[in-house]
Amino acid sequence: MDKEADYRYVLQEAITTLAERAKQINQVNAYDQGRAMAYYEIFSQLASLAQEAGVDLKELGLEDMGPLVGMKKAA
């Protein structure tokens, strides 16, 4: 594989793993709510960087990151 494909694979796998972990957070206490917010920040930053680079968010699984952590986007 070429370097770009390698980087894309690593990023997609990381996003998938993080999304799976975020979905498991039940947010019943302040600690878990904080964890959920941290995941949301990570996904938000990744989506922002992808958009800046012209990468399709759907390709990375970031087109709708709010439901990944059970949170709504900030208004």
What 3 state SS string does the chain have? CCHHHHHHHHHHHHHHHHHHHHHCCCCCCHHHHHHHHHHHHHHHHHHHHHHHHCCCHHHHCCCCCHHHHCCCCCC
Residue ranges making up the domain that contains 17: 3-69
Residue-level pLDDT at 61: 81
pLDDT (0 to 100) of residue 13: 92
42 vs 62: which has the higher pLDDT: 42
Q: How many domains does the chain have?
A: 1
pLDDT exceeds cutoff 70 at 18: yes
Is 46 domain-assigned? yes
Task: Pick the more confident residue, 70 or 7.
Answer: 7
**What predicted TM-score, i.e. pTM, was given to this entire model?**
0.74
Mean pLDDT of 39-58: 87
pLDDT at position 16 over 80 = yes
Tell me if 47 is assigned to some domain. Answer: yes
